Structure 1
Amino acid sequence: MSELNKNASNDIVASHGDKFTDPGIPAHKERMSDKDPAAAKRAEHQSAFLFTLSIIGTITAVVVYFAIRPEGTVTSVRNANLALGIAIAFALLGIGLGAIHWAKALMSDHEVIDERHPIVSSDEDRAGAIEALEAGVKDANIGRRTVLKGSAVTALGLFPLTIAVPLVSSVGNDWDVSKFRHTLWEKGKRLTTDPAGRPVKASEITVGSVVHIIPEVSEEERASHAWISEKAKAVVLLVRLDPKDLKETEERKSWSYDGIVAYSKICTHVGCPVALYEQQTHHLLCPCHQSTFDVADGAKVVFGPAKRALPQLPIAVDDEGYLIAQDDFNEPIGPSYWERLK
């Protein structure tokens, strides 16, 4: 070590004890509400107003939930959700902002030092902690701020209604999971592009290309709210491979057309949309949990948590050259559930 480094090291060691001293707690700066009772009263009323805003928001959310019901169209569902979301936002913001303003303007803001102590405190320490809490309550005048306390408790007590009311009212909803056994696909229904709904000809699909497919339905049906859930079950990924790359069982050889195969986009793990296709390996990847399916081999699982292959949609071509479904999927789509037979 050089002489210069030795001297520098000695200086650091010698001055360490004096150089890093405890700065202590800075002098307490009184807030306006600490000095002026009128300012404290204003802060109390402001916090109470914010809690009252939360109460109004909660009541509005409950009223909106029952008063603005979706009429079966996407627009009505969007408007109902928007109104409910705005009401719940006011309910939450009122509680949050009211609590923050209360804490910053009225609660004790004196800094204190709490020395570290064993996990099990002594009786004296426990008594001191209780005394400090009582002093804080007294300093904040919580006992005398009845309006503030009442509005805060009411806001906190009512807010759970924004969650409980929709949950309770949904008890009678239809939980018939057997509906997952069937989709809109049926014999002769044309395959159309998603979302435009344009029918697809087999001649348009080149080797290696991928097309997102939905069943052919009317414009009116696509604008309905019911279409959202039906589309979610029926979405298909259409892929064209070189026919010699396909590994098909005897049963499934008639399910494809000249290398074109159609599989459900709903992952059999937890239902995420499977749409990442790797042309060279013919692998289809689910972006959620990386389940990987081999499109060339019946969409069997080659990697990841999924346990079942993607359901296949048997397809054919009609007299005009458009791709059509031969039937529904060969098995229920999506994740497993208790009532599944396979």
Structure 2
Amino acid sequence: MYLLSMVCVVLFCVTYFVADVGDNWTTFLGLGASTVGLGVFLGLALLLIGAATIQWARKLMSDVEMVEMRHPARSSDEDREATLQALSSGAEDSGIARRPLIRNTLLASVGMLGVPAVVLLRDLGPTPGQAAEADYPGAGLEKTVWTPGMRVVRDVVGTPIRASDLEIGDLVNAQPEAIFPSEESGLPELEGAELLIAKSKAAVIVVRMEPDTIIPGEGRDNWSVDGIVCYSKICTHVGCPISLYERTTHHLLCPCHQSTFDLSDSGRVVFGPAGRHLPQLPLAVDEEGFLVAQSDFTEPVGPTYWERDHKDIGDQGEAEL
């Protein structure tokens, strides 16, 4: 049984690497092969070790009842000697010294239970740097699918946004054109998990306000178009999507934990637990008058993580409302 337990551990590792997961997962009897295989083989490995140990005790060890009298907290010398004798007797009865094959397979099967724990450490990755090297656009935490010249389109419908169509106080939920590719754009089509990851990071809100109320951060003088600014829609606290906008104060409220950002002041946090300002997407207009991105976000969107570089927009003062 100990040998079978070792075989089950090996099959656990094989299943982990062979069975596909994700959108196109491997199935077994209509269930996820990875989930079924990992659970069955790890469970059998533990069960076989337990069953083998029980059989060892029942079949090979002597069946002698032992009585131990109650004793003080500190054992007497006689009790200690008796304990050592009992241990020696138990070791002799079990045959652990005379049956090296059983002993060694027991130790090996218990030791191999650490292999699944080591294999599962792989799920702690990839690191943000490794994820950024993936073979699809916007992979990793640091980048999104936004590229220079990419149009800003309305969410759900995918129609481009003309700067002249926005009025003071308007807020539009938007996405990059890459989420809604067409033959004219020539952009690659994203599907499955790649599409969901791209949408979750690249979602933005477009707001128009009076140009003289905007206080641009350092190096952001040309990031707006006639009072139109664009910010990440992902709250920097825990990643909630936000679009509750107060047009008179230019404040954007996250309904989850009430973090509030001033969109007229580089997305600065004015209230709540968020620790960073909202990342701003630099805007421009193309020759047809549609809003386009000048580049990707200059910093990672969403909540802070350990490997993220810190950027401070500095003290921009107060807006003249």
- Superposition TM-score, scaled by structure 1 size: 0.53
Alignment correspondent of 1:309: 277
Alignment correspondent of 2:293: 325
- 1:62 positional shift: 3.1
Task: Give runs of aligned pairs for residues 184-223 of structure 1, distance below 5 A.
Answer: 184-192=145-153, 198-199=158-159, 201=161, 211=173, 213-217=175-179, 218=181, 221-223=189-191
- 1:212 positional shift: 6.3
- 1:309 positional shift: 1.8
Q: 1:314 to 1:171 in 2, by over 3 A?
A: closer
Question: Does the aligned pair in 1 maintain the 2:152–2:291 contact within 8 Å?
Answer: yes
Question: Does the aligned pair in 1 maintain the 2:178–2:189 contact within 8 Å?
Answer: no
Q: Which amino acid aligns with 1:191?
A: V
The yes-or-no answer on 1:274 pairing with 2:243 is no
What is the SS of the residue equivalent to 1:75? Answer: coil
1:123-176 C-alpha deviation (Å, 9 max, x unpaired)? 56655666777788899x685999986765444333433343576899999648
Alignment correspondent of 1:27: none
- Superposition TM-score, scaled by structure 2 size: 0.56
- 1:216 positional shift: 1.6
Alignment correspondent of 1:86: 36
2:23 to 75, 81, 85: 75
Counterparts of 1:165 and 1:306, CA distance in 2: 36
Task: Give runs of aligned pairs for residues 1-342 of structure 1, distance below 5 A.
Answer: 48=1, 52=4, 54-67=5-18, 75-76=23-24, 78-79=25-26, 82-98=32-48, 118=73, 123=77, 153-165=107-119, 175=130, 182-192=143-153, 198-199=158-159, 201=161, 211=173, 213-217=175-179, 218=181, 221-223=189-191, 234-238=201-205, 240=207, 243=210, 247-249=214-216, 251-252=220-221, 254-255=223-224, 261-263=230-232, 265=234, 267=236, 272-276=238-242, 278-279=244-245, 282-285=251-254, 292-296=259-263, 297-302=265-270, 307-316=275-284, 323-333=291-301, 335=304, 340=309, 342=311
Question: Does the aligned pair in 2 maintain the 1:208–1:279 contact within 8 Å?
Answer: no
What is the SS of the residue equivalent to 1:185? Answer: coil
1:210-254 C-alpha deviation (Å, 9 max, x unpaired)? 73635524486312766566556x423315476599653273574
Counterparts of 1:238 and 1:107, CA distance in 2: 69
Question: Does the aligned pair in 2 maintain the 1:235–1:266 contact within 8 Å?
Answer: no
- 1:312 positional shift: 0.7
Question: Does the aligned pair in 2 maintain the 1:256–1:314 contact within 8 Å?
Answer: no
Q: Which structure has the highest helix share of the two?
A: 1
* Structure showing greater Rg: 1
Question: Does the aligned pair in 1 maintain the 2:258–2:272 contact within 8 Å?
Answer: yes
Counterparts of 1:301 and 1:127, CA distance in 2: 71
Q: Which amino acid aligns with 1:186?
A: T
Residue identity over aligned pairs, in percent, reads: 23
Question: Does the aligned pair in 1 maintain the 2:167–2:208 contact within 8 Å?
Answer: no
Question: Does the aligned pair in 1 maintain the 2:158–2:177 contact within 8 Å?
Answer: no
What is the SS of the residue equivalent to 2:9? Answer: helix
Q: 1:304 to 1:277 in 2, by over 3 A?
A: same
- 1:311 positional shift: 1.6
Q: 1:339 to 1:258 in 2, by over 3 A?
A: closer
- 1:313 positional shift: 0.9
Any stretches of 5+ residues in structure 1 without a counterpart? 1-47
Q: Aligned-pair RMSD on alpha carbons?
A: 5.5
Question: Does the aligned pair in 2 maintain the 1:265–1:275 contact within 8 Å?
Answer: yes
Q: 1:100 to 1:64 in 2, by over 3 A?
A: closer
